[in-house]
Structure formats: structure tokens, C-alpha cells
């Protein structure tokens, strides 16, 4: 792939995550771009899956989104403006997002070569599963001539691309459709094209389509090859547990919200804690609940695991390499009569809040998503 991407190997690190909320993904990219910008630092390849979100590039207009924000919110889809090129696009579960955060200085100042390398990686990934995809002049990304195309319609996009470049450091990247909800693309003008459609490996292959992980394995390999990445070791992500603690109050469910002391961030949260070596997530949840509040409760999984960059202004590290954490989310029901006993080194006060108030007070995307899932589980 050297004629389409890069040929001279350069040190790089691979960061592969599962679900990353889109704002957390922006913070993650910003941190890695600052890291890569310093001399001698390895390039970064990030592979992940976002929550349902429409992102507006620099050329997008509000008219490119056909539904109101209230409707989108009711469907669990958020909207974010970004600094990447292009118009509006969709990210969501079932789609592989890859962010190549590369330093193009030192003889690689060729954005076109980077773009072609990214497109070729997606083309080769499609071919690995028997799908013929290609470039289309004047339309970045990769395209497939589907049955609709042969019947007189436009080609359909299988993979999108949108980059941002600052001082020759690249951010943003590509989105490759494995099995996303294609109905969501109908709510926008995808990438500004009104005469072309969107497809996925699932829409093309049906039951023969690969899983997200299987397709991500192939795309990852082609990206590493095409960008001439000489992979270096990375630190494993830390792991934590969120135990959204609640009780049945006289006016409905109430969530325990605790205010972190200033030395630990000074924001409202429910019970969270780091997993210790050899500990299972459920053990961590029960231990943290007891240590932070003196409570015991009934634990239930919320079906949410997500990853994020650990802000080095909050948690100090001995070296500049960015750190990441993966959090597993649960709900924990406690007795309405139970007495809360705070650990004063971590939290200064607590309040029992209704579900909507708890949602408003939560600082981070994952914490808010946990409250939304609890509301659904309880029928609210």
C-alpha cells in the first residue's frame, strides 16, 4: 500500500477501545494530538465505537439535519459541531471509527497521501469480506455499486472520511459501516450528497456479515500497514466501576449524589471506584459502596461499558504518556431507611435527588448515560 499511504516506518501506538461517548472522544483526540506534537513521540491509532451522534463538519449547515433536536434527543441521538472537514455524518453503534493521530512533519507533509491510505485500508477491509468498494471522484470515502445503483440510483457509501490538520498533526479520521442503524442516515443529508445512499456490510451481506470486532481486526491491520506504523508498547487502560446508587423515595426513585472534595475534582457523582488487582467488577461495586457510603445494596448491570481519557490535570502521572480508563456501569438499589456515612477524604456532602435532577447534576457523559438507562429500567 506504499503508493497510497506511507512507506517509511514510524513508531506508533495502537489504542483500541469499545464504546467512547463522542465528547469524550474529542477530549481523547485533543490529548493525544498534544502528545504527538512533541518531538520524538509516537503516532497514535485509535479504534473505537461511538454512541449515536450526528457530527457537523466545517462545511455543514443546520439544514443538513432534517429532524429537530428534541426529536433526536428522544431517539438517543445527540448533535455536535466539529473542526473536521466535510458536512454532516453519523456515528453510532455498529460502526468502526478510526482516528489516526499522526505527525506529518519531517517529510510526510502530504494530506492526499494520508487520505488515500485511509481509503485504501477501508477498500481492502471490504474486500476481505467479499465486497467490492472503490473511490469516487469528488466524493471522499469509499463507495459500492449496489443493486440500487444498477437500477439507476446513486452509489452507496460504505466508509466515510473527514480529517482535521493543525501544524501537520492529523485528528479525526474514518468511519466504516459494519452494522449501524441505517435508518439514522435518513435523518440527515449524509456528507452533503442528496443523490447517493449509505450501505453497510450487514446491508450488503446479510447474515454473512462479520461482527464489529472481526471487521475491526481487518481494518486495524490494513491501517497499520498503510500508514507504515511500527507499533510500540502501550500501557493497559485502568478499569473502574460505576454503581449508580438509588432508593425508592416517597415521590419516586432517588439517586444518591455525592460532592467530591476539591482535591478530587469538586463535582457531583454517585458511587465510583477503581478495580483492584484480582477483583471482579461486582466485587469492586460492593466494596466501593460500603467504603464510600457505609451502605449495602442489590447490584444490577446497566449494560454499559465505556472508555475515556484520564485528565492529567485531575490525576497526576509520572510521565507524559496519556492514560485511559474503562468503566463498567451498574445500578445499586439500597434500603430507603439506610443511613449514609460518607468517607470525608473523598466526599464532603450528599443529597438524594430525583432522576431528572441527578441527570442534570452528573458531569460526565457516561454518568449521564447511566442515569438514562436506570430511568428506562425503572419505566420512567
Which residue numbers are catalytic? 191
Which residue, chain included where needed, has cell 466501593? Answer: 288
Q: Is 369 known as a binding-site position?
A: no
Q: Is 12 known as a binding-site position?
A: no
Q: Are 277 and 259 in contact (CB under 8 A)?
A: no
C-alpha cell at 10: 514510524
Q: Is 90 known as a binding-site position?
A: yes
Q: Is 123 known as a binding-site position?
A: no
- Helices marked H in the chain: 22-36, 69-74, 111-128, 147-150, 201-205, 212-226, 281-293, 355-361, 365-377
Q: Is 73 known as a binding-site position?
A: no
Of the candidates 99, 81, 79, which has an alpha carbon nearest to the alpha carbon of residue 30?
99
Q: Is 88 known as a binding-site position?
A: yes
Q: Is 161 known as a binding-site position?
A: yes
Q: Are 258 and 268 in contact (CB under 8 A)?
A: yes
Q: Are 245 and 367 in contact (CB under 8 A)?
A: no
As a whole number of angstroms, the distance between CA 207 and CA 126 comes to 16
Q: Is 343 known as a binding-site position?
A: no
As a whole number of angstroms, the distance between CA 173 and CA 45 comes to 10
Q: Is 47 known as a binding-site position?
A: no
Q: Is 31 known as a binding-site position?
A: no
Sequence ranges of the binding site for substrate: 84-91, 160-162, 173-175
Sequence ranges of the binding site: 84-91, 160-162, 173-175
Amino acid at each position: 500500500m506504499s503508493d497510497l499511504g506511507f512507506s517509511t516506518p514510524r513508531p506508533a501506538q495502537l489504542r483500541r477501545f469499545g464504546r467512547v461517548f463522542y465528547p469524550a472522544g474529542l477530549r481523547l483526540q485533543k490529548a493525544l494530538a498534544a502528545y504527538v506534537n512533541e518531538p520524538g513521540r509516537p503516532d497514535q491509532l485509535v479504534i473505537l465505537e461511538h454512541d449515536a451522534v450526528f457530527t457537523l463538519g466545517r462545511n455543514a449547515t443546520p439544514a443538513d439535519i432534517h429532524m429537530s433536536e428534541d426529536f433526536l434527543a428522544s431517539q438517543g441521538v445527540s448533535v455536535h459541531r466539529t473542526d473536521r472537514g466535510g458536512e454532516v455524518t453519523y456515528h453510532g453503534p455498529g460502526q468502526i471509527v478510526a482516528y489516526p493521530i499522526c505527525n506529518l512533519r519531517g517529510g510526510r507533509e502530504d494530506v492526499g497521501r494520508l487520505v488515500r491510505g485511509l481509503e485504501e485500508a477501508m477498500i481492502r477491509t471490504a474486500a476481505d469480506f467479499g465486497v467490492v468498494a472503490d473511490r469516487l471522484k469528488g466524493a471522499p470515502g469509499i463507495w459500492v455499486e449496489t443493486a440500487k445503483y444498477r437500477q439507476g440510483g446513486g452509489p452507496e457509501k460504505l466508509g466515510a472520511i473527514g480529517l482535521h490538520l493543525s501544524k501537520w498533526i492529523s485528528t479525526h479520521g474514518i468511519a466504516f459501516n459494519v452494522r449501524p442503524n441505517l435508518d439514522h442516515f435518513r435523518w440527515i443529508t449524509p456528507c452533503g450528497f442528496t443523490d447517493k445512499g449509505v450501505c453497510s456490510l450487514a446491508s450488503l451481506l446479510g447474515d454473512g456479515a462479520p461482527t464489529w470486532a472481526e471487521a475491526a481486526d481487518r481494518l486495524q491491520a490494513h491501517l497499520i500497514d498503510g500508514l507504515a506504523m511500527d507499533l510500540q508498547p502501550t500501557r493497559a487502560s485502568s478499569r473502574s466501576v460505576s454503581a449508580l446508587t438509588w432508593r425508592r423515595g416517597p415521590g419516586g426513585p432517588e439517586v444518591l449524589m455525592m460532592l467530591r472534595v476539591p482535591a478530587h475534582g469538586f463535582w457531583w457523582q454517585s458511587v465510583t471506584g477503581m478495580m483492584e488487582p484480582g477483583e471482579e467488577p461486582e466485587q469492586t461495586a460492593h466494596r466501593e459502596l460500603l467504603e464510600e457510603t457505609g451502605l449495602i445494596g442489590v447490584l444490577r448491570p446497566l449494560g454499559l461499558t465505556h472508555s475515556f481519557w484520564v485528565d492529567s490535570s485531575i490525576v497526576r502521572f509520572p510521565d507524559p504518556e496519556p492514560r485511559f480508563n474503562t468503566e463498567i456501569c451498574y445500578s445499586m438499589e439500597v434500603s430507603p431507611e439506610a443511613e449514609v456515612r460518607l468517607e470525608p477524604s473523598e466526599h464532603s456532602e450528599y443529597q438524594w435527588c430525583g432522576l431528572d435532577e441527578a441527570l442534570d447534576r452528573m458531569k460526565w457523559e457516561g454518568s449521564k448515560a447511566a442515569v438514562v438507562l436506570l430511568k428506562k429500567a425503572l419505566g420512567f
